[in-house]
Amino acid sequence: MSNAPNKPLPWTTRIPVHIALAGGGLFFLLPLLWMIATSLKPLDQTMRPPTNLKTAFFGDGWQAVIGGRRLEVVREREIVPSESRPVYILRPLDPFPAGEMTHPFGKEVWDRYPVFNKQELARMNTRVTSAMTVLTDARNTFDPAVGLLTLQSGRKVRAAVVRRVRPASNGEKLWLVREWRPEDTDTKEVGAAAGDMTRAWDVLPESRLRKTIRLIPHNYPVALRRVHFARSLWNTLFLCAMVVCGTTISSLIVAYGFAFLQFRGRELLFGVTLATMMIPFPVVMIPIYLLYRDLGWVGSFKPLWVASWFGSAFFIFLLRQFYLGLPRDLLDAARIDGCSDLEILWYVVAPLSKPAIAMIALFTFLGTWKDFLGPLIYLNHESQFTLSLSLQAFASEHGGTPWHLLMAAATVFSLPLIILFFFAMKTFIRGVSMTGLKG
């Protein structure tokens, strides 16, 4: 009498189990979600402690109406006018470089001492004309009696009053707001719009500012350009192709020999092969480096892929265990038909080993794609950098890490691995379950 089929669990048991599994999966997805969320934020909000769940995953910004247009703006600073220290919005009648409002010296000085980057010089050299407006402060003062604006550099220019900024009647805060643009993300400086006279600005009470969610997809093209993504991707794919082909082909051949060929010392040689897995890489790292240095390979891709064509002990072991589970009658029939060992391997064993081969190729590709230590040791020139090395170089070349750009580049770096794993998940599970069936 045959056994009755197992009854499915009742729904009262299945639903809590599914909820627990879904919760566990979501928990392990949190780092990925945080990385994607950070990649879409402005720089000044990437390391800010979140006040609620929305600010943890979404950047926020401000909108305001300036000159009849609703614009994305940044709050540059709070304005506190008083009778003893009045604040004016002025229209200059004499043109001057914008840098004289922020530096105690003139254009002839900053041109002579090139200590500013291109972005700073562009803002400083902007010519302030009568078509623009400026704001007075403690360093740029205005005398309404004579109509002269005294700049921080010491220059005096004629100016006309547009309006005097007075405290809000209800005690609201006043903010200097300036137009925000997506290209501001292409910098590690917080407040890149500050002092840019080419942008619309105004002094507005807080009630006229509207808080919004600000997502910046522009972070992605900027980040990919800064890490030289196309070049690094080509280098990484080249290494992945060479290592995957070398590891798979050599492991297939060696595992076939250990599984089916009879020769003296086979078991001893197989044991020595497995013993190599017990040697930590740091122990052999320096001797291997010296070997490649003597061969003249340091500074090239050869140390990163040539060794893969001599097999991998772990994958040789897995393939051997898989081969031992194959029907021997198929191999005997092929030999009777006159096939050589290489023909048996190519026409009989390899087609039956597709799940195991796919698993090895997947594991090797993942390991090579995210390998950092190997390229760090052997590659010297930036044009040879892989994706992992380019990310590290991008993070270390700045005084402060631009996390929004780094997370955008890291998201693109991780995306192919995630997609590949989901597409190859069934093959991966099948390959793992079918190896090691017979020892």
pLDDT for res 197: 85
- In-domain check, residue 30: no
Which tens digits make up the pLDDT trace of 320-342? 988 888 888 888 888 888 888 88
- In-domain check, residue 256: yes
Domain stop point among 188, 214, 240:
214
Give the domain extent around 110. 82-166
| In the chain, % of residues over pLDDT 70 | 92
- In-domain check, residue 237: yes
Average pLDDT, integer, range 422-433:
66
Residues 205 and 304 in one domain: no
Residues 205 and 112 in one domain: no
Average pLDDT, integer, range 266-280:
91
Which tens digits make up the pLDDT trace of 18-32? 888 888 878 888 888
pLDDT for res 28: 82
Which tens digits make up the pLDDT trace of 145-165? 999 999 999 999 999 999 999
Which tens digits make up the pLDDT trace of 356-409? 888 899 889 999 999 999 999 999 999 999 999 999 888 887 656 788 888 999
Residues 276 and 382 in one domain: yes
Which tens digits make up the pLDDT trace of 197-216? 888 999 999 999 999 988 88
- Residue 296 reports pLDDT greater than 90: yes
Residues 174 and 157 in one domain: no
On average, the pLDDT of the chain sits at 86
Confidence of residue 427 (pLDDT cuts 50, 70, 90): low
3-state secondary structure the chain: CCCCCCCCCCHHHHHHHHHHHHHHHHHHHHHHHHHHHHCCCCHHHCCCCCCCHHHHHCCEEEEEEECCEEEEEEEEEEECCCCCCCEEEEEECCCEEHHHHCCCCCHHHHHHCCCCCHHHHHHHCCEECCCCCEECCCCCEEECCCCEEECCCCCEEEEEEEEEECCCCCCCCEEEEEECCHHHHCCCCCCCCCCCCCCCEEEEEHHHCEEEECCCCCHHHHHHHHCCHHHHHHHHHHHHHHHHHHHHHHHHHHHHHHHHCCCCCHHHHHHHHHHHHHCCHHHHHHHHHHHHHHHCCCCCCHHHHHHHHHCCHHHHHHHHHHHHCCCHHHHHHHHHCCCCHHHHHHHHHHHHCHHHHHHHHHHHHHHHHCCCHHHHHHCCCHHHCCHHHHHHHHHHCCCCCCHHHHHHHHHHHHHHHHHHHHHCHHHHHHHHHHCCCCC
| In the chain, % of residues over pLDDT 90 | 44
Residues 230 and 86 in one domain: no
- In-domain check, residue 278: yes
Q: How many structural domains does the chain have?
A: 3
pLDDT for res 400: 66
Average pLDDT, integer, range 285-292:
94
